[in-house]
Structure 1
């Protein structure tokens, strides 16, 4: 029997946002990676190489022979990997990093989210059991749903409700992993907050989460620029809760924390909030996002929480007067407003205990906001396919 390498991993979601950055980091740290890709994807090796090269061309080329493609599907038992390949991987893989997920708030994607997020987690646990290896599972801090106040890393099912299909299915997926752990499985769960692009380059491969709000600012800035010189000078007022913070964290900080935690034996069986220790005020983020796009006739209105909720409710009610546009507006309100009310705080005590002073995410300052949004603007806020 071939001896198992202590430095070989199976990685799902390796062409996704966090997964691709994590893949490159693992290569840099001396790991051999088996990238799981769907069988239907053509030129999958070229696609992975292209994605890694966008992060760092030199690093990607340097480690070009330190990884390979494995065809499969996370929604199938044992990831749909054929028997011969399973036997090979069983003797080589030391860890499984399961990053593949569907990040969609659209209720129409309920069945797809169940298949990818929940069934994918179940299949990941079964594969980890077969291989007798650790499972490193990428969850989200927002499995907390509508909870308020301090949210601790060791808390899970606190009777919370969920605001969208993503929160619900990721909660159920984490439940699968935890139940597997109760039966002896070895896992580490990582819960990042709102992930944005690289702190140095702004690079991102998908533009969800906060990018959807920034996209709104960008679109309206273009509209008002077209209206220059016309009689259209009233300002846009954006209400923001005065005390609210927005827990943004750059993808490089997330990956750094995941990698370091994955190397610690004391991390096994624990859950970690990969969140920013010093999140910026929501008003600061909005103001500087608006400045990036030169959106001059926008005013930030600092309000108490109850006023924001009242305004959101009024906007919801009035939207029924505007047919299709109104429906879109209601979707935006129900999806994003709850994330900006500042009513919850994610404790990262466990991360601090394990990593100590080495956990130092880049500050979300003016330069970082500008960097990540200019990159998104250059790509027209469209997910990068290659």
Structure 2
């Protein structure tokens, strides 16, 4: 049986659907019943609601060890997709608890229960830092603790350290580092907020770029890495102790925003927001959030990431698993069409 953590999120819910469609036995953990509705809505979006009840749901939290012990009974493979994504400065403690402590719990129980393999969904945020002579981020880039990193990046890097510890303790592991994951069904959180912002009339854009990838690619690669690649099964079965950057392409934020706007048939963002403007914006937001005791809407890390111009390489995953990625901009158009059809 397969255990999925984070099955009420974008990647986990798509992974659950993919596995169920392919006849796998899936157990998924959830924190509260309301969160399950997100996954059920996704199955409905794809008109696969008849498959939803095939998931064995179990109430547990990755920070709650006693509940996790029950969830791990009779489990062979674990996909660890659960994580807290936040760039709010007030979330540091919670990020460390969920992403680092929670991952440590998953590793400990995987070792104790002799799990056959653990696949961990990390992030490009946890990758290393370019040295002066380097121009593109690969899996071999080293993390530089002397350089500034967001609390989220630090927590994801810490989570990876727990995964590597698991390997040292005899656990078979693999890590994927996706870029910005694009997919339907979760427009109120994570990368889905990009769609929501454009739909509401986003006016500003920046000139940064980063790696983007379709959620369907992420799911397909997770399964290939966990089990086997039909084209090269022996090699894939031996994947252990490896990490893979999972992006389709490096794309400018403005291109993505314009593609979303065109698909939604709304106005493109037309006002360029230079660095000085976004620096003022996040400070203003911080002051207002402090005064009114609410979460920040535009953090310092988000502001600075929007101007980042870092290139990521996907050569390793393409070469190892012979994977052809979907065109991100075409997929964005498909996402909007799917959402529009469902809302009618």
So what's the TM-score if we normalise by structure 1? Answer: 0.72
Distance in 1 between residues matched to 2:129 and 2:193, nearest whole Å: 20
Check the 8 A contact 1:145/1:160 in 2, yes or no: no
Aligned to 2:246: 274
Q: Which of 259, 269, 277 is the aligned partner of 1:288?
A: 259
Q: CA RMSD in A?
A: 3.6
Distance in 2 between residues matched to 1:325 and 1:23, nearest whole Å: 37
CA deviation profile, 1:166-200 (whole Å, cap 9, x unmatched): 22211111111112223332111111110111xxx
Distance in 2 between residues matched to 1:299 and 1:311, nearest whole Å: 15
Q: Which of 181, 186, 206 is the aligned partner of 2:172?
A: 186
Q: How does 1:1-12 map to 2 (within 5 A)?
A: 8-12=1-5
Cα distance change on mapping 1:153 and 1:146 into 2, 3 Å: closer
The Cα of 1:280 is off from its aligned counterpart by 3.0
Aligned to 2:84: 102
Q: Which moved more, 1:171-180 or 1:153-162?
A: 153-162
Check the 8 A contact 1:139/1:170 in 2, yes or no: yes
Cα distance change on mapping 1:218 and 1:157 into 2, 3 Å: same
The Cα of 1:74 is off from its aligned counterpart by 0.9
Q: Which moved more, 1:120-129 or 1:26-35?
A: 26-35
Q: Which of 40, 57, 63 is the aligned partner of 1:69?
A: 57
The Cα of 1:11 is off from its aligned counterpart by 1.2
Does residue 255 (structure 1) correspond to residue 245 (structure 2)? The answer is no
Distance in 1 between residues matched to 2:241 and 2:27, nearest whole Å: 24
Bigger Rg, which one: 1
Check the 8 A contact 1:13/1:36 in 2, yes or no: yes
Q: How does 1:152-231 map to 2 (within 5 A)?
A: 152-159=138-145, 161-197=147-183, 203-220=184-201
Check the 8 A contact 1:118/1:169 in 2, yes or no: yes
Aligned to 2:233: none
Mind listing any 5+ residue stretches in structure 1 that lack a counterpart?
A: 1-7, 198-202, 222-235, 302-306, 381-386
Aligned to 1:363: 327
Cα distance change on mapping 1:50 and 1:290 into 2, 3 Å: closer
The Cα of 1:313 is off from its aligned counterpart by 4.1
Please give the secondary structure, in 2, of the residue aligned with 1:253: helix
Distance in 2 between residues matched to 1:104 and 1:169, nearest whole Å: 10
Cα distance change on mapping 1:169 and 1:95 into 2, 3 Å: same
Mind listing any 5+ residue stretches in structure 2 that lack a counterpart?
A: 228-235
Q: Which moved more, 1:23-32 or 1:188-197?
A: 23-32
Distance in 1 between residues matched to 2:278 and 2:149, nearest whole Å: 15
Does residue 18 (structure 1) correspond to residue 1 (structure 2)? The answer is no
Please give the secondary structure, in 1, of the residue aligned with 2:328: coil
So what's the TM-score if we normalise by structure 2? Answer: 0.80
Please give the secondary structure, in 2, of the residue aligned with 1:248: strand
Aligned length: 328
Please give the secondary structure, in 2, of the residue aligned with 1:341: coil
